[in-house]
Amino acid sequence: MAKYKRILLKLSGESLMGDQKFGISSEMLDYYALQIKELISMKTQVAIVIGGGNIYRGLSAESSGIERVTGDYMGMLATCINGMALQSVLEQNGVYTRLISAIEMRQIAEPYVRRRATRHLEKGRVVIFSAGTGSPYFTTDSAAALRANEINADVILKGTRVDGIYDSDPEKNPGAVKFDNISFAKVISMGLSVMDMTAFTLCKENNLPIIVFDINRPGYLARIVGGESLGTLVQ
């Protein structure tokens, strides 16, 4: 039995690259599809937000001469490409999905309508939210926090390369100390990087817990949804 009945899974675009320097790895798509399929077998309702950093990063656009707003919209389109790729592989694995875009593009995705998205979840379909919030100056972290609150998710599961939140970067400091549980207030006071501040504040104000975990450990996702204390819980 699943502890969490409805989750929002936040994946970075970079997580789709695998060992590549950019683009989408078919091996990583297959890996994520199987992890998500396991959640569906547990009767958990799954919504997903994916970044677009493996294709285009809006925040770095200005260095190439592209204005910030245009660059952000380009980044939103990159998330749609990632969403389409994940949708395709999920459906090849027998998982019903709906791709929903905050920017209207009727030929490939449904427009975002909160009640319709919730109904898809209730019917057991995986809902992939793409195009961020549909507005510039907001990251996909903010989109994840916004959508999770709108659909009344029980938790945000943020998949990263490390197995939780540490007091310093564990990839640079071997002596970094991991937190099993931490409060929103302590994360802010210590200046720890969990999500961008807009997203983090939205979760804090609405008492929406966040679990940060290592997405590249097979089975971790299902074990967390099943109630095991893995990664770091922020509440």
Please answer whether residues 47 and 114 qualify as being in contact, where contact means their C-beta atoms are separated by less than 8 angstroms: no
Specify the pLDDT at position 61.
61
- CA of residue 22 relative to chain centroid, distance: 18
Reported as a pLDDT band with limits 50, 70 and 90, residue 160 is: confident
Residue 207: its pLDDT value, please?
A: 94
Gap between the Cα atoms of 192 and 119, Å rounded: 36
Assess whether pLDDT exceeds 90 at residue 171.
no
| Tens digits of residue pLDDT in 3-35 | 899 999 999 888 888 888 888 989 999 999 999
Domains of the chain, by residue range, sit at 6-234
pLDDT for position 97: 97
Would the pLDDT of 206 be above 70? yes
Look up the CATH number of domain 6-234: 3.40.1160.10
Structure tokens at 48: 């997903």
pLDDT in tens, 78-137: 999 999 999 999 999 999 999 999 999 999 999 999 999 999 999 999 999 999 999 999
Beta strands 155-160 and 126-130: pairing type?
unpaired
Packing angle, helices 68-92 and 26-41, rounded to 10? 60
Average pLDDT, the chain: 91
Q: Is 79 helix (H, G, I), strand (E, B) or coil?
A: helix
User: Tokens at residue 101, please?
Assistant: 């875009």
Q: With cut-offs at 50, 70 and 90, classify the pLDDT of residue 193.
A: confident
Alpha carbon of 30 to those of 25, 87, 91, 127: distances in Å? 9, 11, 11, 17
Rg (CA), the chain: 17
Q: For the whole prediction, is pTM greater than 0.75?
A: yes
Q: Distance from CA of residue 145 to its chain's centroid? A: 9
Q: How far apart are CA 203 and CA 155, in angstroms?
A: 10
| Position 191 confidence tier, pLDDT thresholds 50, 70, 90 | confident
